[in-house]
């Protein structure tokens, strides 16, 4: 594995700090099918850059989680322009990371990366539950003639018969997706953003108990007031604390085996949005390994 020096990688830890890694950050700025705002190809480098400003001490967990985790960052590499070839590449990378018994976290790029990311997990585990944060259901068979579109990301994941999905924050779905959603209601559970006050997280806790979980986080799942730096921002979304509460619940009650965070489209001189995503990544890893 070809890693960046600690100082240039995620969190910017001192090169003198010696550790055995448990986590591999994979920068994968694939941008092929964006349909509104662009710039997601710059997401990974800006998340890593912003992570150097994230406080390493976590007051909630009363420690510096990175010391107990060990996080390495892959050197950026060329991404093929052909989307199928690119997805095979990220699949192979995650396969390699899993063989080393490490935890992969991919920074996209657009959401179309996820079917590639989860391929080795779907092949490894008898059942895989996708915990999906997003404004959009992403259940289209294709979009603009592309079946591997970002708007079809979850549909392509569900091509694996042993994969099911729980989605949080959905507030944008096309009429064409409804028949598929109804037909596959046993595999798809949506916590609609409009129903947020009525979400039953006790029931959710029972559903995810002892499950093998992969997290895919499209940052437009956040409300557009705190996350406008994305291709298709939507009002009415998730806020910081409620998002962390859901992830915490999952970390305590299931086995999180991998994650991707995608669809950050950085806005020049508005670093707070990049910082939010960097902190989210650190929180997910901290909960996974320390709760």
Each residue of 256-281: pLDDT tens digit?
A: 999 999 999 999 999 999 999 999 99
Architecture of domain 6-290: 3-Layer(aba) Sandwich (3.40)
Task: Say if CB 173 and CB 193 are below 8 A apart.
Answer: no
Please report which helix (H) or strand (E) contains residue 132, including its range. strand 128-133
Query: Domain ranges in the chain?
Result: 6-290
Q: How far is CA 214 from CA 127, 128, 264, in A?
A: 11, 7, 19
Which residues are paired to 131 by β-bridges?
166, 215
Go through the chain and tell me how many residues it has: 291
Task: Give the CA angle between residues 2, 7, 12 to the nearest 5°.
Answer: 110
CA–CA separation, 188 and 4 (whole Å): 38
Predicted confidence (pLDDT) per residue in 112-130, tens digit: 999 999 999 999 999 999 9
pLDDT score at 142: 87
Q: What per-residue confidence (pLDDT) applies to 5?
A: 95
Pairing of strands 103-108, 71-73: unpaired
Q: What's the angle, vertex CA 132, arms to CA 155 and CA 130, rounded to 5?
A: 70
Using alpha carbons only, what angle is made at residue 245 by residues 242 and 251, rounded to the nearest 5 degrees? 150
Residues near 159 by Cβ (< 8 Å), separated by ≥ 6? 115
Both structure tokens of 53: 């400003």
Angle value at C-alpha 138, between 279 and 116, nearest 5 degrees: 70
Asked if residues 23 and 103 have their Cβ atoms less than 8 Å apart, the reply is: yes
For the chain, what is the largest distance between any 2 Cα atoms, rounded to a whole number of angstroms?
A: 56
Whole-number pLDDT of residue 39: 83
What average pLDDT does range 185-191 have in this prediction? 98
Residue with tokens 């947020």: 196
C-alpha 115/C-alpha 103 separation (Å) is 17
Task: Quick: pLDDT tens for 89-101.
Answer: 999 999 999 999 9
Q: For the whole model, what pTM was predicted?
A: 0.96
Q: For residue 105, what are the β-bridge partners? A: 25, 259
The token pair that represents 128 in the structure block: 């895989």
pLDDT tens for each residue of 25-72 = 999 999 876 555 568 999 999 999 999 999 999 999 999 999 999 999
Contact of 211 with 130, CB cutoff 8 Å: no
User: In this predicted structure, what is the pLDDT of residue 38?
Assistant: 64
Contacts of 152 (CB under 8 A, 6+ apart): 112, 138, 139, 140, 141, 142, 143, 146
């Amino acid at each position: 594995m070809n890693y960046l020096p600690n100082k240039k990688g995620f969190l910017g830890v001192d090169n003198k700090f010696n550790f055995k890694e448990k986590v591999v950050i994979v920068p994968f700025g694939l941008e092929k099918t964006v349909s509104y705002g662009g710039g997601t190809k710059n997401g990974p480098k800006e998340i890593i850059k912003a992570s150097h400003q994230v406080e390493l001490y976590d007051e909630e967990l009363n420690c510096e989680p990175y010391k107990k985790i060990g996080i390495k960052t892959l050197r950026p590499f060329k991404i093929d322009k052909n989307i199928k070839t690119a997805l095979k590449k990220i699949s192979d990378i995650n396969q390699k990371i899993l063989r080393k018994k490490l935890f992969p976290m991919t920074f996209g790029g657009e959401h179309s990366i996820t079917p590639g990311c989860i391929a080795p997990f779907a092949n490894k585990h008898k059942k895989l539950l996708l915990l999906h944060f997003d404004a959009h259901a992403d259940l289209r068979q294709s979009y603009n003639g592309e079946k591997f579109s970002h708007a079809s990301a979850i549909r392509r994941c569900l091509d694996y018969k042993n994969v099911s999905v729980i989605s949080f924050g959905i507030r944008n779905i096309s009429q064409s997706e409804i028949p598929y959603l109804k037909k596959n209601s046993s595999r798809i559970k949506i916590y609609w953003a409009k129903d947020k006050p009525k979400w039953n997280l006790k029931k959710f806790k029972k559903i995810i108990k002892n499950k093998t979980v992969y997290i895919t986080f499209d940052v437009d799942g956040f409300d557009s007031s705190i996350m406008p730096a994305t291709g298709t921002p939507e009002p009415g979304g998730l806020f910081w604390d409620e998002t962390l509460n859901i992830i915490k619940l999952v970390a305590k009650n299931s086995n999180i085996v991998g994650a991707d965070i995608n669809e950050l489209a950085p806005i020049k001189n508005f670093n707070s949005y990049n910082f939010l995503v960097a902190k989210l990544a650190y929180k997910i890893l901290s909960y996974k390994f320390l709760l």
